[in-house]
Chain A
Amino acid sequence: MSTPHTLPGSGRGLLIIDLDGAGSHPAARRVSPAAPDAALDPGHVRGAVLAAESAGFHAATFSDPGLPDTAPAERPGAWAAARLNALQRAAFAGPVTRSLALIPEVDTVYTEPFHISTQLASLDYVSGGRAGWLVAASTSAADAAAVGRETVRGARLAGEAADSIEVGRRLWDSWEDDAVIRDVPTGRYLDVDKLHYVDVETDNYFVKGPSIIPRPLQGQLPVLAPAGLLAPEAVAAGAADALLVSAPTPGLLAAELAETRAALSAGTAGTASGASGPALIAELDIVLDARGQAATERLAVLDGHAAWQSPRARFAGTAAELTELLTEVLAVADGVRLHPAVLDTDLEELSRLVLPELRRRGLLAPNAPDATLRDQLGLARPASRYAAAASAAVPSPKPASTTAAGAEN
């Protein structure tokens, strides 16, 4: 495990790339050198994570935008929505990669918090402690209809996301680190005093616990959330370890980051989380000059197929111009997440021209092969919240009135 590093700027120098099929532009698969069904091809997932790792990215996110609200008949091209489950793509990448952190986007509104928590903990095991969670809260009526629930809107979305994070975090802590004792003399595999019911009661559901998998390797997986998704109180209480910050244009990113940071320190004044707060990651869509074509031309061709509707700032230009922009942004952000318009084409340019120059300028965190995602974010590995509680109060054993062999098989 590496120790937290210090960089010349204020940030941590993390570069994250979003890996989403042929690319982030909805028409990417029409122009990509990869097969048009890259989003469904395991070979493409393998190639993409290896390329991102060897380019020197610290982490990859895996999008899972859910079902489109508009029926595809009315919106040709909507089936750019066809993609493999993000958590599975990340898990598939686990044994293939060595240093790249793997961060799937997982919805919190129409999913079972218990399943999500154990899936993410499992991802941490298959990746050797390189897993993170990009929290999403689906606004899609189609996602609601698919599971027969009413569409959740407005402030309740933030509530669902916060509840799901709380369940996840408590379940990750529900096995203390040394709960598996394998004590042959007493015949005990587990020390049951180190397993804990979580008993989370939200407005909508109840989760008993404990988890069905031991504590994740990182203890707690880092949780990333789009800035603005969670209520300020939830952020102040430590729900997220990193926030993804968007702005309408690249020029406005620095100001937006400063404003977000100011709001955070105002919100956390006098609270336990204090000055540290979540890391801030800037969001940027990119199209680069590539293969003899100007970025603007490439973008025009792509937009001719389908409009790129994105809440993020967009950069179109040369590798040198992008390097300058990232130098500015990395001075005020802890990291940047890049969304390449066409993955194979833009990643090649990033790998060849942009990352080497950023590294030369000393702006990037080192790529340590065995670093966890927590290490990369400068987060210490926390003790289980229940470990502290258990040392304070001895749990009273329940009366021996019930029996269960369990429903596992």
Chain B
Amino acid sequence: MSQTTEFTPSGQLQLGVFFQGVNSGTVWKAPASGSQTDFESFRRIAQTAERGLFAAFFLGEGLRLREHLGRPHALDVAGRPDAQTALAALAAVTTSIGLVATQNTTYNDPADLAHRLSSLDLLSGGRAAWNIVTTDNAWTGANFRRGGYLDHADRYTHAEAFVETAKRIWDAWNGDGTVRRVHHSGKHYTVDVTPRLPRTAQYRPVLFQAGDSPEGRDFAARQADVIFSAHPQLADALDFRRDIVERTLRAGRGANDVKIMPASEFILAATPEEALEKKAWVRSLQIGPEQAIAYLEQFWGRELQGYDPDGPLPDIDPVVEETSETRGSGFHGAKARQLADQWRAEAAEKGLSIRQFVSAKTSRGDSTFTGSYTEVADRLAEYARTGAVDGFNISPWLIPTGLDDIINHLVPELQERGVYPTQYAGSTLRENLGLATPVRSAAGADAPTVTAQA
């Protein structure tokens, strides 16, 4: 394959929607907020997105309910369906939108996950994708046979072996009806399987990945088709693009081979003033007084109910953490005390109350596009022109109607500017994202070929 060493902006943007479900980003207190579990909410969002020619519909994955001070977290939206099950149902009521399942490499088996993703890809006519994530903690592992056994440092080594095994499984069917057997014997998994499913309309599921550390970026540059990035600001996005292009070239792939779609939030209205008012309203619902206190309690490791959400940050110190190591974003005691000192100083300096401070910390400030439809469309056109990103992954703050104004007002503005599709480019997700068909790898030495009467 001739590989492009020079990155060329496509001049186009794609949109995806991330039905995020579980955190303070989803406003459940608004009267228009619907069910987070009823299938109708999922159908409504997916069909609306498809009406707006969105490339992809994303679902997150739940492996353990969020906890707060040792009990399930009460204040934010919680509870969501299994991603692939919900996407299989959506495959029946959509025709063109990509269906992306976030799935963990730590608590799945490669042969089983690769099989189910192939199955979803066949069921959807080539519209499936896998958003690859890794987890290392025993706290999540407490729900699984496999338990929690992974060193943090091993996460990407492990994930990469997993992804490569999955790719070999998707590569296994030869054109002549024979199948390569796939063996993998590694530190974390042993796989020995003769895959049951043929290649799909888009060859294999599209791969998304969201790691941002240097290791995560290299992993994506080697393995992924699309990066679900955390760099939506234009200058930052351009830097990120340059960095990813370099890493992609070093990995022996073409400069345009890895697409970038940052996570984003849109707060839009007819006028800039209305949009700002709307933003204040959305933020007040996202971080209420209870969430503000609870947010600090996470880092203080103790109850702070006596503190006034509209007053200054707590003057008491966090309790020493002894068991936080495996809880995802927990902190050791010493680190927590340091953080508390830092935050108190920061809040005092800016004159922020607990609620204002937490709102600033948690609002995905950088990733929020606020403004009138025309304003935001002009901003987005600049991303398309410079090639900073290939599109945006939108987390709606309202379910199930949160995409309506984007589809009805922003999309037409983008189309008028010539930076957004006016029809689906093809029937598969790979075609719609402008990705090339993978090149089949040579048979491995350990891969005897067997006959399949397909």
Contact = CB atoms under 8 A, between A and B. Distances in A.
B193 A409 contact: no
B89 A94 contact: yes
Nearest to A86: B119
A123 B88 CA distance: 10
B303 interface: yes
A192 B69 CA distance: 12
B77 A398 contact: no
Interface string A72-86: 110011111111110
Contacts of A190: 72-74, 78
Contacts of B64: 208, 212, 406-408
Contacts of A208: 64, 142-143
Contact of B62 (A42, A187, A206, A213): A213
A213 B124 contact: no
Instruction: Determine the main DSSP class of B at the interface with A.
Output: loop
Nearest to A202: B145
Interface in A185-241: 186-192, 195, 204-210, 212-214
A45 B123 contact: yes
Nearest to B188: A148
A125 interface: yes
Nearest to A175: B79
B139 A95 contact: no
Nearest to A400: B69
Nearest to B189: A148
Given A182-B28, A192-B71, A126 B451 contact: no
Contacts of B67: 402, 404, 406
B189 A402 contact: no
A404 B302 CA distance: 12
Contact of A408 (B61, B69, B92): B61
A405 B123 contact: no
A403 B324 contact: yes
Given A187-B288, A400-B303, A402-B324, A408 B84 contact: no
Given A88-B85, A92-B91, A148 B192 contact: yes
A121 B81 CA distance: 8
A119 B62 CA distance: 11
Contact of A214 (B74, B79, B123, B298): B79
A46 interface: yes
Interface stretch (A108-116, A263-271, A274-282, A344-352): A108-116
Contacts of B298: 403, 405
A407 B81 contact: no
Interface in A133-148: 142, 145-148
Interface in A285-310: none
Nearest to B22: A408
Interface residues of B, number: 100
A109 to B, nearest CB: 11
A389 interface: no
B196 A67 contact: yes
Given A188-B290, A400-B301, A406-B64, A88 B327 contact: no
Contacts of A80: 453
B17 to A, nearest CB: 16
A119 B103 CA distance: 13
A204 B125 contact: no
B198 interface: yes
B375 interface: no
A174 to B, nearest CB: 9
Interface in A367-409: 397-409
Contacts of B192: 145-146, 148
B321 A403 contact: yes
A37 B452 CA distance: 13
A93 interface: yes
A31 interface: no
Contacts of A77: 453
B194 A67 contact: yes
Contacts of B143: 114, 207-209
Nearest to A87: B85
B82 A119 contact: yes
Contacts of A114: 63, 143-144
A40 B452 contact: no
Interface in B397-446: none
B261 interface: no
Interface string B92-122: 1100000000100001110110011001101
Counting chain B CB atoms within 10 Å of each CB, the highest count among A85, A95, A113, A206 belongs to: A85
B264 interface: no
B194 A93 contact: no
Nearest to A406: B66
Contacts of B319: 400-401
Contact of A93 (B92, B189, B327): B92
B85 A206 contact: no
Contacts of A195: 65, 72
A115 B321 CA distance: 31
A138 B144 CA distance: 19
A187 B190 CA distance: 47
B35 to A, nearest CB: 9
B39 interface: yes
Nearest to B71: A192
B344 interface: no
Contacts of A115: 82, 107-108
Enumerate the 8 nearest inter-chain pairs by beta-carbon distance, A residue then B residue, closest first: A148-B190, A406-B66, A212-B62, A187-B290, A404-B327, A126-B89, A122-B81, A398-B70
25 contacts: A72-B453, A80-B453, A82-B196, A88-B120, A89-B123, A96-B92, A111-B112, A115-B82, A118-B62, A121-B81, A122-B86, A126-B81, A145-B192, A146-B109, A187-B29, A188-B74, A190-B72, A192-B72, A192-B73, A209-B143, A400-B70, A400-B302, A403-B321, A406-B328, A407-B139
Interface of A: 37, 40, 42, 45-46, 67, 71-73, 76-85, 87-89, 91-96, 110-115, 118-119, 121-123, 125-128, 142, 145-148, 175, 180, 182, 184, 186-192, 195, 204-210, 212-214, 397-409
